[in-house]
Amino acid sequence: MALILSVLEQGMIYGILALGVYITYKILDFPDLTVDGSFPFGAAITARLISGFGVPAILTLPIAFLAGALVGICTGLIHVKMKVRDLLSGIIMMTGLYTINLWIAGSAYVPIFNKQNIFDNAVVNRIFPEFLRNYKVVIIIFLITMLVKYLLDWYMNTKSGFLLRAVGDNDTIVTSLGVDKGLVKIVGLSIANGLVALSGCIYAQQQRSFEISIGTGAVVIGLASVIIGTSLFRKLSFLRVTASVVIGSILYKACVALAMFAGISATAIKLITAVLFLIILELSRDRGKKRGSAC
């Protein structure tokens, strides 16, 4: 039971990260490696705010989002204004953020065990009855993830959201519409990295610590979730693509948990991440080929 709960909790937390990766990878067609830096960035800010300044936990969520959005704007400016290739812009930001994250957090590992957080504070503890204690974390994560998903769905159907979808599809038309396509890309990158940092913020509070190494491979986890979600649930039209991405993330975490359960050591986790991603890529490519030959 604890294993299932942990898969659901982490799956949904990384689901928010996957939604961010979905915006850059699928909508903008921009492989954004900034994620490896912006995920721990959200976590570092949260750890510092909670342990250093005693900021109310609920406030860490919007602060982390905004900080992540700022990081996304930087990646966008490097790419759009300085004309640096997309992958390189992300790598530059990811590398720089590693140091910035260490500065913000103060060290590579910051425990926040005895502090209040979004799962454990006066308000939450009063609302949740005794028998729901064990499910408190998973319920709160579920609510936040749903809220993020619905906000994103709503945004994608606004005029601004339409432009975002258009720019990844065919950026010529955005220029034809009299809009600066560079600006639209920057907006997309900022929302995406805002979500990634928000995910890092929740992750730090669920783990009750900040660790610099959580960033390594974050983008791979996000990509794997997006690809599982979008290729597995392509046929189910009642599922919004945002929902499939979150479910993809939960499935991915379940795969990793199974591998750990089967006795693979925790130090091998990054290797499992990489191999799993490769398997997923290969499987989704196969599906695509079959579909192509059927036509």
Binding site for other proteins (CB under 8 A): 155, 157-163, 165-166, 169-170, 172-181
Least separation in angstroms between residue 161's CB and other proteins is 6
Nearest to 101 by CA among 71, 75, 60, 143: 71
Q: How far is the CB of 295 from other proteins (least distance, A)?
A: 12
User: Among residues 20 and 161, whose Cβ is nearest to other proteins?
Assistant: 161
Please tell me the distance from the alpha carbon of residue 86 to that of residue 215, in angstroms, as a whole number. Answer: 19
Q: Which residue has the tokens 């995406």?
A: 192
Smallest separation (angstroms) from other proteins to the CB of 181: 7
CA–CA separation, 40 vs 211, rounded Å?
8
Residue 225: Cβ within 10 Å count:
30
**Contact indicator for 212, 102 with CB cutoff of 8 Å:** yes
Give the containing element (helix H, strand E) for 111. strand 109-111
Residue closer to other proteins by CB (options 183, 257) is 183
Q: Other C-beta atoms within 10 Å of 88: how many? A: 12
Nearer of residues 147 and 278 to other proteins, judged by Cβ? 147
User: In whole angstroms, what is the distance from residue 156 CA to residue 166 CA?
Assistant: 11
For other proteins, the closer of residues 120 and 153 by Cβ is: 153
Pick between residue 188 and residue 215 the one whose CB is nearest to other proteins: 188
Closest separation in Å from C-beta 180 to other proteins: 5
| Bridge partners for 209 per DSSP | 111
Least separation in angstroms between residue 286's CB and other proteins is 22
